[in-house]
Amino acid sequence: MLIVGGNFTEDALGPLYHAVLTRLRNAPSAYLDTFERLFVARPVDARQLSKLYLAAFLQRLASAAPDRVRALAGRFLGQIDTAVHAMEQTVEEIGALEALPQETAFAVENLEIRRREFRLLSATTRPTNP
């Protein structure tokens, strides 16, 4: 959860940041297996999904395993689409995004961002430097 939690920066983590990146580079398959087990193979709560930076994790491994990253992103996109659809139904029932509790409105907006990120990843993996 360290990488996907939102504070995975050198400023926040110091030397641990580079140690984690080294572990990622040395064992991309193991980390992708864990990602698949935790997030792709089972449903993820929509609110949790809206708070995690899962695409950033996959982007870091795109150069090491582009086909696998693309496939995982495509499979995960289905979960995101399901979550977005459920949230959109809630918005329709209430009538306006502004009428939702702030946390729910935040989740709806972030899920749309996640959806765009995973669409890009599933279409073509653009590696970033880890």
CA-based radius of gyration for the chain: 16
Task: Compute CA distances 92 → 46, 95, 104, 106, whole Å.
Answer: 17, 5, 13, 16
Structural domain span for residue 88: 10-123
**123 or 124, which is more confident?**
123
Q: Does the residue 62 lie in any domain?
A: yes
70, pLDDT greater than 60 = yes
Residue 94 lies in a domain: yes
Position 65 in a domain: yes
Answer for the pair 91, 56: CB distance below 8 angstroms, yes or no.
no
Report how many domains make up the chain.
1
Establish if 33 belongs to a structural domain. yes
Residue 130 lies in a domain: no
Q: Is residue 47 part of a domain?
A: yes
Residue 1, domain member (yes or no)? no
Q: Whole-structure pTM over 0.75, yes or no?
A: yes
For all residues of the chain together, what is the average pLDDT? 87
Length of the chain: 130
Q: Once rounded to an integer, what is the mean pLDDT over residues 7-18?
A: 92
Q: pLDDT tens across 21-47, in order?
A: 999 999 999 999 999 999 999 888 888
